[in-house]
Amino acid sequence: MDILPYHRRINYYETDKMGITHHSNYVRFMEEARVYFLEQIGWGFDKLEAMGYLSPVLSVSCKYKQSTVFNEEILISVKVGSIKGVKFTLVYEMTKAKSGHIILTGETEHCFIGPKGMPVRVKNEIPDFYNVLITLVDDKQS
Amino acid sequence: MDILPYHRRINYYETDKMGITHHSNYVRFMEEARVYFLEQIGWGFDKLEAMGYLSPVLSVSCKYKQSTVFNEEILISVKVGSIKGVKFTLVYEMTKAKSGHIILTGETEHCFIGPKGMPVRVKNEIPDFYNVLITLVDDKQS
Amino acid sequence: MDILPYHRRINYYETDKMGITHHSNYVRFMEEARVYFLEQIGWGFDKLEAMGYLSPVLSVSCKYKQSTVFNEEILISVKVGSIKGVKFTLVYEMTKAKSGHIILTGETEHCFIGPKGMPVRVKNEIPDFYNVLITLVDDKQS
Amino acid sequence: MDILPYHRRINYYETDKMGITHHSNYVRFMEEARVYFLEQIGWGFDKLEAMGYLSPVLSVSCKYKQSTVFNEEILISVKVGSIKGVKFTLVYEMTKAKSGHIILTGETEHCFIGPKGMPVRVKNEIPDFYNVLITLVDDKQS
């Protein structure tokens, strides 16, 4: 499956008094990229939430490599890091659209809370989704 | 009833590349002040939401008089502008805590959506709340 | 000149506990649309800031007509309301991309602060920009 | 030195459609707590920026343990994790004010960019600040 990177620009309100994008916003950009990634693989948030699943973020980490400025175009690629038990991780790489320089590498860890309010094993509960995810596990990560 | 103004400081992430507080944040500060105001008069959001009422914002307006900077302390006073039918307005004045200079004047218009999903007349549906609000109508506004 | 409306989707982090887009975010969407509008007419923020001009927001107003939800696609059209002395206004209309229903109408008022830190008359100081803006004044607004 | 934890409430606009605080906001709360921490030890952002120092965030990580809801009161404690060369880390623990339950543990990594635009060794360049920081290194972390 060919997954496209997520593309967006830095908004004015996302800059701070240092003149660069405030570091907290990248966590939001990662969410935007995650939404786009899940849609591309056919398992958008809307679909999962309609099925009664919520996917809270268990952990997030970002390593900031370069700053970005207002109106700068960035690309965010998302890959599956690992799927273990009730948890899975996604890994992110943000690059400058023009130069290709790396802005950030990041990772989020998730679980799925099922209709009964408990974490579920994706493998057992949503096997169709699991089967897509597992083919996307990035060998460099796991 | 003696209503205290809401006090807060400007956070770093609320500044933008002009070095000042981004104008969109003041709409959020107005909400914070509104929450504090309603708590003081004994009708906090929590209580109203627990009773099944939601209070969507119908309109908002802000006039920006002076900018503020990171870590600056501001005060926000809230008054009831008017109560008419299913709508009521709140009026806001933000001042610099040190100098007393006016930062912003603003207004929000609200209604209450009842448990049945329809706007309700506060006067009829939540008369205890109405009776408090009506004593707080600011004569200068109405 | 044919100005395209600005297109965007609602992000997950822009929703609130009511399940809809938090009202403060629309002020940010208006800024995004303004940036896109100015770029289309050849006077992007970047260009104006490089020339030494800042354009603070003097006032903002929004009338909320309908709510929006996560992932919903919206369109924002921007028009010039008026240009008077050192001030000009922009008017906004947000619609749902699918149904065309109006979400919000809004207005922002701006001035331009020149390299000397004082408001300038766009007509005199940046006549090329003024000449573009004046042709875009929306007759319904002024 | 007795450092007080940072205290704040969850704002309505910080919740998302799951009804809980959006995970990205905790990165902002960590910044608020960091600002308060630095003020308490006599080295506020304002002072450092006035001396020509900027302190960009090099990395951030958060482990989410429990969610929080609108108006909930939280406490954030900040400790120095380590100081090595041009980098130092701060570690955070957020707890529910009422129950004391842990909401989040987190870490940020920073450097200081000096007036010449280059990272500086705090030990050599701002020894008074270094001497305070070093006494605060948390033995459990380093």
D44 vs B contacts (CB less than 8 Å): 71
Flag whether pLDDT at D141 surpasses 60: no
pLDDT in tens, D69-118: 999 999 999 999 999 988 999 999 999 999 999 999 999 999 999 988 89
Q: Does C45 touch chain A (CB under 8 A)?
A: yes
For C129, list phi and psi in degrees, rounded to 5: -70, -45
State the nearest Cα–Cα gap between D22 and chain C, in angstroms.
Answer: 6
Best CA proximity match to D45, nearest among B21, B13, A25: B13
Q: How far is CA C7 from CA B77, C25, C78, D101, in A?
A: 36, 15, 12, 42
Percent of chain B having pLDDT more than 90? 82
Contact flag B56-C23 (C-beta cutoff 8 Å)? yes
Mean pLDDT of B13-29: 97
User: Within an 8 Å CB–CB cutoff, is residue A48 touching chain D?
Assistant: no
- DSSP string for residues in C66-92: S---TT-EEEEEEEEEEEETTEEEEEE
pLDDT exceeds cutoff 60 at A142:
no
Residues of B in contact with A22 (CB under 8 A): 12-13
Kindly report, residue by residue over D15-70, the tens digit of the pLDDT. 999 999 999 999 999 999 999 999 999 999 889 889 999 889 999 999 999 999 99
- Nearest CB partner across the interface for B35, out of D12, D32, D35: D12
Question: Are residues C57 and C110 in contact, defined by beta-carbon separation less than 8 angstroms?
Answer: yes
Asked if D12 and B45 come within 8 Å (Cβ–Cβ), the reply is: yes
Q: How many CB atoms lie within 10 A of CB C123?
A: 16
Contact residues on chain C for D24, CB-CB shorter than 8 A: 13
Q: Tell me the backbone φ, ψ of residue C96, rounded to 5 degrees.
A: -75, 130
Backbone angles phi, psi at D61, to 5 degrees: -145, 145
What CA–CA distance (Å, rounded) separates A60 from D27? 10
Please state the rounded mean pLDDT for residues B44-67: 93
Residues 6+ apart with CB under 8 A from A106: A26, A27, A30, A60, A61, A62, A63, A91, A92, A93, A94
Q: Chain B: residue nearest D27 by CA?
A: B13
Q: Is D61 on the interface with A (CB under 8 A)?
A: yes
Summarised one tens digit per residue, pLDDT across range A59-81 is 999 999 999 999 999 999 999 99
Judging contacts by C-beta atoms under 8 Å, the chain D residues touching residue B6 are none
Q: What is the secondary structure of A80-113 as a DSSP string?
A: EEEEETTEEEEEEEEEETTT--EEEEEEEEEEEE
CA distance B9 to chain D (A): 10
State whether residue C72 sits within 8 Å of chain A by CB.
no
Cα B67 from chain centroid (whole Å): 19
Number of residues written out for chain B: 142
* C18, closest residue in chain B (CA to CA): B54
Distance CA A48, CA A35 (A): 11
**Chain C residues close to A13, C-beta within 8 Å:** 28, 31
A124 touches chain B (CB under 8 A): no
How far C26 CA lies from chain D's nearest CA (Å)? 12
pLDDT digits (tens, 9 = 90+) for A69-123: 999 999 999 999 999 988 999 999 999 999 999 999 999 999 999 988 899 999 9
Higher pLDDT, C116 or C66: C66
pLDDT, tens only, C18-65 = 999 999 999 999 999 999 999 999 999 889 889 999 889 999 999 999
Of the listed ranges A125-129, B103-107, C100-104, the least confidently predicted one is A125-129
Helix locations, chain A, DSSP H: 25-40, 45-50, 122-125, 127-135
Provide Rg for chain C, Cα atoms. 16
The answer to whether the CB atoms of C64 and B58 lie below 8 A apart is yes
Structure confidence at residue A85 (pLDDT): 86
Tell me if B71 and D45 make a contact (CB, 8 A cut-off).
yes
Q: Which residues does chain C have within 8 Å of residue D13's beta carbon, measured at their own beta carbons? A: 16, 22, 24
- Indicate the residue of C32, C45, C71 with minimum beta-carbon distance to A45: C71
What average pLDDT is seen over chain A? 94
Predicted confidence (pLDDT) at residue B63 exceeds the cutoff of 70:
yes
| DSSP one-letter code for B115 | T
In angstroms, the first-to-last Cα distance of chain D is 19
* Residue reference for tokens 């709510």: C67
Looking up tokens 């990229």 gives A33
Q: Which of A12, A45, A46 sits opposite C31 (nearest CB)?
A: A12
Q: Does D117 touch chain C (CB under 8 A)?
A: no
Paired residues of D79 in beta bridges? D91
Rounded distance, CA C52 to CA C50, Å? 5
What pLDDT, on the 0 to 100 scale, is given for residue B141? 57
Q: Give Cα B9 distance to the centre of its chain.
A: 17
Residue that wins the pLDDT comparison between C71 and A139: C71
Closest CB to A28: pick one of C11, C31, C44: C11
Angle made by CA atoms D23, C14, B28, in degrees to the nearest 5: 95
Mean pLDDT of chain B: 94
pLDDT at C140: 67
- Contact criterion met (CB < 8 Å) for D71 and B44: yes
Q: C13, D16: Cβ pair inside 8 Å? A: yes
Q: What is the mean pLDDT of residues B11-25?
A: 97
Q: Give the nearest chain A residue to D66 (CA atoms).
A: A58
Residue of B18, B56, B61 with shortest CB distance to C54: B18
**C123 near C105, Cβ under 8 Å?**
no
> Average of pLDDT values for D12-16?
97
**Cα–Cα dist C22/A14, whole Å:** 17
Query: 């995810």: which residue's tokens?
Result: A133
The predicted-structure confidence for C85-115, as pLDDT tens digits, reads as follows 889 999 999 999 999 999 999 999 999 999 8
The alpha carbon of residue C32 is apart from the nearest alpha carbon of chain A, in Å, by: 7
Percent of chain A whose predicted confidence (pLDDT) is above 70: 98
